[in-house]
Amino acid sequence: MSIDAQLRRQLTSAVEDTTVPPGLARGAIAGGRRRRRGRAVAGGLALASVAVVATAVVQLPGPLLGSEGDVASGASADLAEGLEWARSLPQGEAPALPFFGEGGLWSNGQMHDTLGDEVNYGYPPRQVEGGWLVVTGQDEERLGLAVMASDGSLRRLPGGSFVAGVVDTRSTAVSADGRRVAYRDLVVDLDTMDLTELPHRPAGEVGADDYGTEIRIIGFTDDGLVYQGAPFEQRKGSTWLLRDDGTTAAVEPPPDSHISQGGPADVAVRYDYVAGNTDTCMTTYRLRDTTWEEWRSGCMGEKLGEALAVSPGAEWLLTDDLPRVWSIADGRWDRLDMPVGLGRAQLEAQRGGAVWEGDDTFLLPFADRWTGPTSPEPEFVQHVQVVRCSLVTLACERAGDEQYLPVVTTMWSSGQLTFAQP
């Protein structure tokens, strides 16, 4: 399929996947090529609003600070102020989630510089059994998935190659034990590399131009894999649970609710809006075996801007209103020890970026800039300090060392520092 067709499919799918979450529909435009830049290579993604169809990148006005507080050109004062605040935080442990950073792949505070030329740094790695799940290939028409070991060796996943926008490390699902990976219409056992084709496949070949009827991988639960497949209605698939014994059961979420892309696969949410946009009420459901049970319901007392991510245990909801975080369990706003405006500026510049590291901690990269000066393929240098915030203590800390990254951005990918959802 052509890149144009893939882009059309991605944009349409992104709109459909965000039927409920308030705010922007955040489609993930991912993909392909990168330009070699020596050993100091970063990996990441450019999470793009559905409105951003072209590759144009807007340069934000104002000063920004370099690694020692020197003024550089590029981004806004809010971003520079945010980075300085991040640098002032107490030192904490390195991120538990892997990422491509300065010099190579970072995992649990260790840098692995044994990456081969085939590894595509434009997509964040995922922790799996035996190493990390990575994208291979520099040609956006022929990408692949592989497990990279600590010595740099690659074990390629079956299923053939794909074009940018169809599959990458962010659209796959990894089981809790890291031994199974689901992508496209397949589940692969990483120990044996045996593959299982998902039941309830659409009539046409996955990846054909009837892009509105494709399997959508949601994620693993304790009971199996949740995904959407046939039958389809208005391009939306039916929701299924594939059990470990190979049987399937229908697990359609309650009316007007949805399972968030990248969130827990056993959590569905529904948002109800009061007339006049004066209040937003959120109802959360948990999947128990094959039955959805109401978990919590509460009203926020105001219009919700954009919902970003539900925590793994469905206790908190990250929104674009940092430093406030909505407590799903208690039905109230909790406030982090973070200056107003700094977190929001970073979220807006990244069009996302926050990722849950655990049940009650999340990571958010703070950088001096997130955009290059021109398009196509803008190049710039990025100073990034990852920040970890705890919803138990409401305090934040530096997660590992600051990263200094040369960044190259293409239509499909970017070398910015970013994380995949665990």
- Express each pLDDT in 345-370 by its tens digit: 999 999 889 999 999 999 999 999 98
Do residues 65 and 82 make contact, with C-beta atoms less than 8 angstroms apart? no
The DSSP symbol for 284 reads E
Answer yes or no: is pLDDT of 5 > 80. Answer: no
**Where do runs of H (alpha helix) occur along 266-374?**
342-350
pLDDT for residue 114 = 82
pLDDT band, very low/low/confident/very high, at 159 (cuts 50, 70, 90): confident
pLDDT band, very low/low/confident/very high, at 295 (cuts 50, 70, 90): very high
pLDDT for residue 116 = 84
Do residues 181 and 174 make contact, with C-beta atoms less than 8 angstroms apart? yes
CA distances from 78 to 347, 394, 402 (A): 11, 22, 18
Is residue 381 exposed (0-12), middle (13-18) or buried (19+ Cβ within 10 Å)?
middle
Nearest in space to 63 (alpha carbons), one of 48, 44, 81: 81
Percent of the chain with pLDDT over 70: 77
pLDDT for residue 211 = 53
Question: Which pLDDT tens digit goes with each residue over 241-283?
Answer: 999 999 999 999 999 999 988 899 999 999 999 988 899 999 9
Nearest in space to 365 (alpha carbons), one of 315, 415, 305: 415
Q: Side chain identity at 349, as an amino acid letter? A: A
pLDDT for residue 319 = 95
| Tokens coding 233 | 């209605």
Answer yes or no: is pLDDT of 190 > 60. Answer: yes
Map out the domains of the chain as residue ranges. Answer: 3-408
Answer yes or no: is pLDDT of 395 > 90. Answer: yes
Q: With helix as H, strand as E and coil as C, how does 69-97 read?
A: CCEEECCCHHHHHHHHHHHCCCEECCCCC
Kindly report the pTM of this predicted structure: 0.81
CA distances from 255 to 262, 270, 379 (A): 20, 8, 46
Answer yes or no: is pLDDT of 237 > 70. Answer: yes
- Rounded distance between C-alpha atoms, residue 402 and residue 385, angstroms: 5
Nearest in space to 419 (alpha carbons), one of 110, 42, 124: 124
- Please determine, looking at this structure, whether the domain spanning 3-408 carries the CATH number 2.60.40: no
Q: Where are the beta strands (DSSP E) in 184-276?
A: 186-189, 195-197, 216-221, 224-233, 236-243, 248-250, 267-273
DSSP H/E element including 411: none
- Rounded distance between C-alpha atoms, residue 137 and residue 299, angstroms: 47
- Rounded distance between C-alpha atoms, residue 344 and residue 254, angstroms: 31
